[in-house]
Structure 1
Amino acid sequence: MPSLQKAFQHIEQFAELRMKEASIPGLAIAVTDHEKLLRVYTYGFADIAAQVPITPDSLFEIASIGKSFTTIALLRLRDEGKLDLNAPVTQYLPWFEVQSEYPPITVHHLLGHTAGIIRGTEMAPHGLYDSWALRETKTRVPPAQHWHYSSVGYKILGFILERLTGQLFREVIQSRVLDPLDMTDTHPVITFETRNKEAIGYRSLYDDRPEHPSHRLVPAMWSEYGTGDGCQASTAGDMAKFLRMLINRGKGPRGPLMSEESFNLMAPLMPQTGGEQYGYALASYPVDGRTFLGHGGGNDGYTSHILADVDGGLGVAHFVNRRTESGAIFESAEYALRVLYAAYNDKEIPPVSPTADPSYIPNATDYVGTYRAGGRVLQLTARDGKLLLDYEGRAVPLEQRAQDSFYVGCPDLDLFLFEFRREGDKVVEAFHGFHWYINDSYTGPRHFDYPEEWEAYPGHYRTRNPELSNFRVVLRKGNLALAFPSGNVEPLRPLGGTSFQIGDDQRSPEILRFDAVVEGRALRADYSGCPYYRTFTQ
């Protein structure tokens, strides 16, 4: 056994640094090898107001990581000859229906997110209605032709489990996943009993704009939950047991949990964006010539990631009790695996380095100039690697979120990111919410035709869905777009009438439909079956 103390110190330093940078109230990290738990590290608070610390016994909701529990239970039924992965879903759930002109959707398609159905929402307190309501949606490509992440697909898989076993979903997960792995601290569904033992989940005070570490945290919305798309709460140490099963390719402390063939089905099947591969509820990441298996999870108050270095025989579970960008949690988990691998193989441990200053922009001079939108004027200057906005006599630095995309921490400007566009290499225009700015280098058209009825659609829409509580619709350069609170903006492609496809990919099943137009304003926008209602804010 190598000396791991230095590795543990690096993991702790890295996690604490990222916590402070992202304003995370508390975290728990478990690291394991293929045989045993190596360490559980906790930091911060389970309850900020009462100053209750995170402990190894603190429960965290693991959200979509639980999809792998649903998958394992189904694959065990497959091994018993009780489930045909290539059978139509209707063979097990006769009420299942989707508008489609293509071959039937099978269990295999749902498991691999290739059914062509919508992502799904939390419009109802239980997933049964969401699953039934798919009959009101339409697929746009044949099954197996397009990867589109679908949580509602896994809700359906949970109901297939109940139909095949005659048990409640919680009973299936307990008997077929948790008990065989001795996961005694994991709750198969989220109930009030679970809540009593959970670290309180937090989110930003603002749910309608890009997050920033300066935003105050508030307790997140909470509800009971019990469907197949991820409804478990666990401790970091208990999830290390699950990771050891992955590292050992499906073998648990009491023997194989599933056949080798079934475990291989969880391995990647279809390409996903970013060079990753996705199989049945597990993604695969090539790192330094090795294969990492894992999955992330996030809901209104928690973010998590598990990663298993299958080749290196190591794993890490990383939980935080706030909703935040999943990339930061993945980065921390990946760093922990790199450090452990280096320690086990007598290699140099990767150093702990601070995150780059988001206000340092090496190409800041690209954006310098005056931008106008009607009577609105933006004046941008560059100094010492920073891009500065002249705002009420103050020079306010912009923070980079992505290429040509920036956050501005001013009360009138923080609802949206600034998105710059180029002609060739030259920046010529900027979008910010409802406004389109151009500078003197812009040579394109300045006036655009669009249907008059589109004037009714821009505005701010809300619902009670905790996964996506609100969005804004904007009209810029003659085109409608959907602006998410995260800062992402997706184009709306007209389909005829009041319906629009969300995003650039014409294979996407996600549709936005407007209705209830009163005095020139649409009062409702239906997002793939979930109704949102115009609110009084812009």
Structure 2
Amino acid sequence: MNSLTRRNFLSRSVLAAAAVNTTPFWTPTARATMPMPDAGSPLDAKLDAYIARYMPAMNAPGLTLGLTSAEATLRTVGYGFADTDRKTPVTTDHLFQIGSITKSFVALVLMQMRDEGKLELQKPILAYLPWLPITEPFGVITPHHLLTHTSGLPDNQSIFSSDPAARLAQGFTPGEHFHYCNAGFDILGKLAATLDRRSWRECVTERILKPLGMHDTRPIVTTADRDRFAVGYEPFWDDEVYPRQGRLTAAPWLVMDDTAGCIASTPGDMATYTRMLLNHGKHAGGRIASEESFTLFSTPYIKADDFSPTASYGYGIAVDTLDGHKILRHTGGMVAFASSIHVDLDGGVAAFASINAMQGYRPTAVTEYAVQLLRAQQESKPLPDAADIPDPLEAENAADYAGSFSTPAGKQLSFAVQGKRLSLVAEGKTIPLQHQGGDQFISTIPGVYSKYMFAFGRKHNDAGEGEGTAPLPLVVQVAYGSDLYVNKDWDGPRVYATLPFADAFAGHYRSDSAWGGDARVYVLNGRLMLDGTPLVPLGDRLFRVSDVPWMPDTVEFHHVVDGKAQLMKSGGLDFWRVEVD
């Protein structure tokens, strides 16, 4: 979907950046007046210089940062604007929503309960929560499976549906696959509250926030603290693909107590939290979890490529390596905030950063570079230079996509290349395209070919092309929504069989939920698609949202009136048909 859920952004920081001279907010004047802190050391100066480039390139209104060693907080600072209209600078008192970094708090609370003998990690979850509306056709689910995203349950589905008969349906045998699952951590929050016999808010406050002195942190997002939050921003045109330098608007307020991502904090408090992680659960007043439980918490149980090619997942935290060091890392994505932590266990330094916008990426590059700088300083080594911020208007193989493509009905698209930049030439206009990774591009002009991505396809690889250092197969087609355009090298079918259910389910849908937004269902190459993802039939109205056979995420269509479904249920949300372009 074009909307941004709590997860569909996680590894996109590698795509992030843009040509900074086209931004609607970070004009040259705005960049020159962007609130910046005073650099107190060469390390500060190097990091600040990088962030001064990073924020305009990423179109991030504001950023908050906390750095710590294993002994003490090293720096807390704000950059940019907490409110772009009022030009209010970000301060270290502003609250930012940390999103899925909350999951590590949930895991540590449960590790405490394990230490107290209240929780067995391998015991069936239904033994603790017999009311839980789930099905287990592939095997018993335990707290261990939920903590490691290996339960087989769908990702963003609410525990409780508007349909009382609905159940979270398992898609694979627990432990077999890593499938990020926000629903699982919502369940774990309910487990913590049940075992502790008090609300999550009270539980995490008494067990983690108070012992660590995190007095500025809020265990849930409520309107009571709204005046302390930085204003959060989201894409202005939420029914279109979003280019990096797209126009932003203030997002609607969110009330959130779902423990998949409900904590809001300041950089000072997050420095305190990550310092406790650096010390394996210890803090000045004692321990948050025993050494044994912290070892369980930070053990890599299953590969987690969502975070990086080298990452695995522990309990509510990713376990990875950076420059040969063991690190704990996580990101957090909310409706209008995005966050990141890097905790270098071997180097004894950690960083937290958050931005007040949701555009599909996380400030992972900032926390990673901060940790590298801190570690170099600790080791009395030269401070490393920051990596280049890639320009998403550039693609190394842009020339692969140049040329003309057409449909059987005579529609045509032409793509021109200049250096590493690809443009669409259509309707008398030249439209710069932003590279989304792989063979995908999007329009950078609102309202002009901006409903869908351009997804290029290559010739079937039957000669080893594209393997190792061999050249990639030829580009022979490009899809834009339901239209398939092919070039002179295409030797496949031009017309596909009509799907009997296509007219009933295809269309434009919208959700009133802040997590939902816009969705488009259409037919491409004889398959039903949801915003570029294939829908595989599982029944008359039920579809799996993936070609992957074990994927548990589904959509279901309801209320067919005059041959058109009026409702699509996806991720536990209701998306209603809208008869607009």
Give the Cα separation in 2 of the matches to 1:506 and 1:32: 44
TM-score, structure 1 normalization: 0.93
Q: Is the 8 A contact 1:372 1:437 kept in 2?
A: yes
The answer to which of 413-422 and 347-356 deviates more is 347-356
1:284 pairs with one of 299, 319, 326:
319
* Corresponding residue number in structure 2 for 1:526: 569
Q: Contact (CA 8 Å) 1:131, 1:155: kept in 2 or not?
A: no
The question of 1:348 aligning with 2:371 is answered no
Aligned to 2:512: 464
What amino acid is aligned across from residue 83 of structure 1 in structure 2?
L
Q: Give the C-alpha shift of residue 510 in structure 1.
A: 0.9
The one-letter amino acid paired with 2:541 is T
Structure 1's 130 and 297: CA in aligned 2 closer, same or farther, altered over 3 A?
farther
Deviations 1:147-171 (A, max 9, x none): 2111111111111122111111111
Corresponding residue to 2:141 among 99, 105, 118: 105
Measured at CA, do residues 227 and 382 of structure 1 come closer, stay the same or move farther in structure 2, by a change above 3 Å?
closer
Query: Which residue of 2 is the match for residue 452 of structure 1?
Result: 500
Listed as ranges, the gaps of 5+ residues in structure 2 are: 1-38, 462-472
Shift of 1:338: 1.1
Quote the residue 2:476 is aligned against.
428
CA drift at 1:409: 2.0
Corresponding residue for residue 26 of structure 1:
62
SS of residue paired to 2:343: strand
The 5-angstrom pairing of residues 84-123 of structure 1 reads: 84-121=120-157
Counterpart pick for 1:357 among 391, 394, 401:
391
Q: Residue 341 of structure 2 aligns to a residue in which SS?
A: strand
Cross-structure match for 2:253: 222
Distance 1:493 1:44 in 2: 45
Structure having greater relative contact order (Cα 8 Å, sep ≥ 6) = 2
How far apart, in 2, do the equivalents of 1:427 and 1:102 lie? 40
CA–CA distance in structure 1, aligned partners of residues 301 and 163 of structure 2:
27
SS of equivalent residue, structure 2 residue 203: helix
Equivalent residue for 1:330? 364
In structure 2, relative to structure 1, the CA distance for the partners of 1:40 and 1:227 (3 Å cut) is same
> Residue 226 of structure 1: CA displacement?
1.8
* Amino acid of the structure 1 residue aligned with 2:52: E
Whether the aligned pair in 1 keeps the contact of 2:545 and 2:555 (CA below 8 Å) is yes
| Structure-2 change in CA distance of 1:80 and 1:130 (3 Å) | farther
What is the rounded CA distance, in whole Å, between the counterparts of 1:78 and 1:235 in structure 2? 29
Q: 1:243 is matched by which residue type in structure 2?
A: T
CA contact (8 A) 1:28 1:54 kept: yes
Q: Matches of residues 12-91 of structure 1 in structure 2 within 5 Å? A: 12-91=48-127
Q: 1:318 to 1:109 in 2, by over 3 A?
A: same
**Structure 1 residues 325, 146: closer, same or farther in 2, change over 3 A?**
same
Deviation by residue 1:107-137 (Cα, 9 ceiling, x = unmatched): 1111111111111246xxxxx6359969523
Could you tell me whether the CA contact under 8 Å between 2:114 and 2:120 is conserved in 1?
Answer: yes
Q: CA 1:133 to 1:255, structure 2 compared with 1: closer, same or farther past 3 Å?
A: farther
- For the 8 Å contact 1:12–1:41, the answer to whether it is kept is no
Aligned runs of 1:466-485 on 2, under 5 Å? Answer: 466-483=514-531
Aligned to 1:486: none
Q: Determine helix, strand or coil for the equivalent of 2:169.
A: coil
Where 1:496 maps in the other structure, the secondary structure is: coil
Shift of 1:347: 2.4
| Superposed displacement of residue 422, structure 1 | 0.6
Distance 2:161 2:53 in 1: 40
1:386-397 paired onto structure 2 within 5 Å: 386-397=421-432
Q: 1:88 to 1:131 in 2, by over 3 A?
A: farther
How far the C-alpha of 1:33 sits from its partner, in A, is: 0.6
Q: CA deviation at 1:46?
A: 1.2
Query: What is the distance in 2 between the residues matched to 1:499 and 1:227?
Result: 26
- The aligned counterpart of 1:138 is 169
| Conserved 8 A contact 1:96-1:135 | no
Alignment-derived partner of residue 24 in structure 2? none
Offset of residue 428 of structure 1? 0.3
In 2, the alpha carbon distance for the partners of 1:30 and 1:153 equals: 29
For 1:75-130, what per-residue CA distance to the aligned partner results, in whole angstroms no more than 9, with x for missing partners?
101101111111111222120132232332111111111111111246xxxxx635
SS of the residue 1:326 aligns to? coil
Number of matched pairs:
525
Q: Unaligned regions of 5+ residues in structure 1, if any?
A: 123-127, 484-488
Question: What secondary structure does 2:214 align onto?
Answer: coil
For 1:270, the equivalent position in structure 2 comes to: 302
CA shift, 1:516, in A, is 1.7
Does the 8 Å contact 1:120/1:130 carry over to 2? no
SS in 2 for 1:507: coil
Write the letter of the residue equivalent to 2:231: I
Instruction: Check the 8 A contact 1:194/1:233 in 2, yes or no.
Output: no
Q: Give the one of 352, 363, 376 matched to 2:411.
A: 376
Normalised to the residue count of structure 2, the TM-score between the two structures is: 0.87
